[in-house]
Structure 1
Amino acid sequence: GLFDPEYVNIFGVPFTFLPHEGNDDGPPPPPTPKTAVFPDPAKAEYEIIWPNVVRVERILHPTLEIDWTKVDPLTLNAAQTARVAELAPVIEGKPDVTRISRIELERLAREFRQQRIIFETARDVFDQMKGAWRGSREVLLAQLVRLVEKFVASDLIKVVPLAYHNDELRKRLIITLSMSRVVQHIARSVEQASAERLVPVFDSERPIRSTADMPTWYTGKPCEYTQKSHINVCVYDSTWEASDAYVLDTSDSVAAWVKNDHLGFEVVYIFRGVVRKYRPDFLIRLSTGDMLVLETKGKQTDETRAKHAAMQEWVEAVNTHGGFGTWRFAVAAQPADIHDILADAND
């Protein structure tokens, strides 16, 4: 006789598998995960509430200032400046900007007057900053132009090759043609040095969220019932998480905790120009009443640093608001760190 039909899931879609096409009833559905994950009404005392922040805004001082000792130097490469590189003769496959005639350089300098370029670029930066600016457009532009002019006149800009740096005409031309980079460089320092306070902007429809809001979902992953979490079980993605969950459930320093899984607790961050969402691992209410956001991350990368910086800003903004108690943020670089983190947070 024929073999019984077999089935396989391809990207979650069940297909019959030869040598038999199956019967008219079709393949059986994939097995449903057995464990339901939900907020346990019997453990409502362990509910955790948090502000639903969609973004953090910087409110700037009416007067912009820069701590020049903290401004990083900026290097501009003439060969990477498009309008200059176009004029340069190509030597051994690369544009040699040192061989551009002075007549051509003077023509470019007349075409791109530095004062006009500074103002036009500052105007573009204003469009990025105006949401956090409480003064008039004209006041901001005037201050930005003043700061850019001071930066241009400082020794914080280096132009390469050296022949361009030591020649005032060439140096001024490269700075002018790179003004977008110059102003963006300054704008970052202005925003940091002149921030009056960080302000959380809440979701207009759901300004506050809670573990009680989590809908029931199902899992086939390893999990364990919890004692001090509003959610009935903690689903483990690693042995490290299982270890942390045990410590949180048994520590006298912890009043309540929850793994940030399907909760909707997210912090917006920007990495390489793309807006993304960061979901830290645990939310913890300490025995002191303070809140702790805990991340377990062994390896540091540029992106994890961007995530953690955004989380720190979130904490500062929420604490400045004052309506949600005191929040902290900590990162465990290895499993054993959680003990010291809890001890420090409760001091």
Structure 2
Amino acid sequence: MAGYRADFPRERIDIDLSRLDPYVLDPDRVRAATNVTMAGIIGARHTLDLEHLRDQRLSTVAFHLANYWVSEKLRDANGEPKTHLFTHAKRIVLQWLRSDRVVYKGGCQPAQLLYLQLADEVCELLMGALLDQPGGESIIRATLDPFMPEGSTIDVNFPTSKAGRHTPRADRSHLNYIVTDSDWEAKFAQLLDEHPEVLAYTKNQNLGFEVPYSEQGEARTYLPDFLVRLRTPEGSDPMTLVVEIKGYRGHDAALKAETMRNKWIPAVNRLGTHGRWAFVELRSLHDFRDEFDAAIEALVAATEPA
């Protein structure tokens, strides 16, 4: 996938905050930013320094964030800001600021979200949770790479000097080795060889499977650890789990997970041409069988007709 686009409804936008993990604002995230220059949809630019930020009311912070969101993110096909959505954008931002989806640590305060990099990051996260109507579907759509819309393990062929190698079952992976970066990955590969619900799997190395995401306004790519194809009844759509094995979960890991759950997975499933997909982070590193089984059950349940 090359990226995402938003299929905006004509009149309003809504959000499902339950899709979002808590956004932790701490000194490490704020870093060394000292001044913020904000520009409204209409009007002159103005600079907010730290003293000014301390005096900002929550509604004012929401106003500035909504301004940035509309002017930079909520654009039509011609690149013009969808200014009629400003009222809804401000409502959503204020709802998010007042929710338990934002956590402040180390003396940080809401106005520091107006730092340009953080404002961009927040708006990207909120984009992923937007709905076309209350209780509706995500507005995010997939933009496929026109030169390589699909990938395959048939093209994987590379030398390696890494010592960590797992030999997979021949009926579950046609690669001769699964190159592992940790004992946890080797343990998970062994689980995939033995699990009765696994049809095939591969480590995501030299596969070309990259997930675009944004961190503090910079475009980045994320490479999840494993792709796992699950067994399905004959005639059913294929089901694939994207798996990340994660011990320590830093700020970047949280952004990657949010992007997978709220952008990449809904966008790919909306295409309807590549089966059903889901994402799981396995964080109980010494015994992740239960987490893996729960992810399989959730995907199967989401696929079954109501």
- TM-score (norm: length of structure 2): 0.62
Q: Does the Cα contact within 8 Å between 1:57 and 1:200 map onto a contact in 2?
A: yes
Matched with 1:307 is 256
Matched with 2:150 is 208
Quick one: distance in 1 between partners of 2:151 and 2:179?
A: 21
For 1:218, what is the secondary structure of its paired residue?
Answer: coil
For 1:292, what is the secondary structure of its paired residue?
Answer: strand
**Displacement after TM superposition at 1:285 (Å):** 0.6
Given candidates 133, 141, 149, the residue that maps to 2:83 is: 141
Quick one: distance in 2 between partners of 1:252 and 1:62?
A: 46
Matched with 2:290 is 340
Matches within 5 A, 1:1-347: 53-65=1-13, 125-130=70-75, 133=76, 137=80, 140-144=82-86, 146-147=87-88, 191=127, 192-195=129-132, 196-227=138-169, 228-288=172-232, 289-312=238-261, 313-344=263-294, 345-346=296-297
Q: Deviations over 1:254-282 (max 9, x none)?
A: 11111111111110111122211111111
Q: Does the Cα contact within 8 Å between 2:70 and 2:89 map onto a contact in 1?
A: no
Quick one: distance in 2 between partners of 1:186 and 1:235?
A: 35
**Displacement after TM superposition at 1:84 (Å):** 8.4
Quick one: distance in 2 between partners of 1:188 and 1:229?
A: 36
Q: 1:240 to 1:210 in 2, by over 3 A?
A: same
**Displacement after TM superposition at 1:208 (Å):** 0.6
Q: 1:149 to 1:298 in 2, by over 3 A?
A: closer
**Displacement after TM superposition at 1:341 (Å):** 3.4
Matched with 2:57 is none
Matched with 1:10 is none
Q: Does the Cα contact within 8 Å between 2:141 and 2:267 map onto a contact in 1?
A: yes
Amino acid at match of 2:164: P
Quick one: distance in 1 between partners of 2:188 and 2:196?
A: 14
Name whichever structure is richer in strand by fraction. Answer: 1
Unaligned runs of 5+ in 2: 23-33, 38-45, 54-62, 99-110, 133-137, 233-237, 301-306
**Displacement after TM superposition at 1:199 (Å):** 1.0
Quick one: distance in 1 between partners of 2:9 and 2:258?
A: 22
- TM-score (norm: length of structure 1): 0.55
Higher relative contact order (CA 8 A, sep 6+): 1
Q: Point out the structure with max Rg over C-alpha.
A: 1
Amino acid at match of 2:178: C
Quick one: distance in 2 between partners of 1:265 and 1:306?
A: 18
Name whichever structure is richer in helix by fraction. Answer: 1
Quick one: distance in 2 between partners of 1:259 and 1:318?
A: 20
Amino acid at match of 2:73: Q
Q: Does the Cα contact within 8 Å between 1:286 and 1:292 map onto a contact in 2?
A: yes
Q: 1:221 to 1:60 in 2, by over 3 A?
A: same
Q: Over aligned residues, Cα RMSD in angstroms?
A: 4.4
Quick one: distance in 2 between partners of 1:150 and 1:258?
A: 43
For 2:74, what is the secondary structure of its paired residue?
Answer: helix
Quick one: distance in 2 between partners of 1:66 and 1:185?
A: 19
Q: Deviations over 1:102-157 (max 9, x none)?
A: xxxxxxxxxxxxxxxx9xx9599445332xx369958x22442x557889999x89
Quick one: distance in 2 between partners of 1:202 and 1:152?
A: 30
Q: Deviations over 1:189-235 (max 9, x none)?
A: 98444555221111101111000111332324231321121211112
Paired-residue identity, %? 24
Q: Does the Cα contact within 8 Å between 2:166 and 2:177 map onto a contact in 1?
A: yes
Amino acid at match of 2:252: E
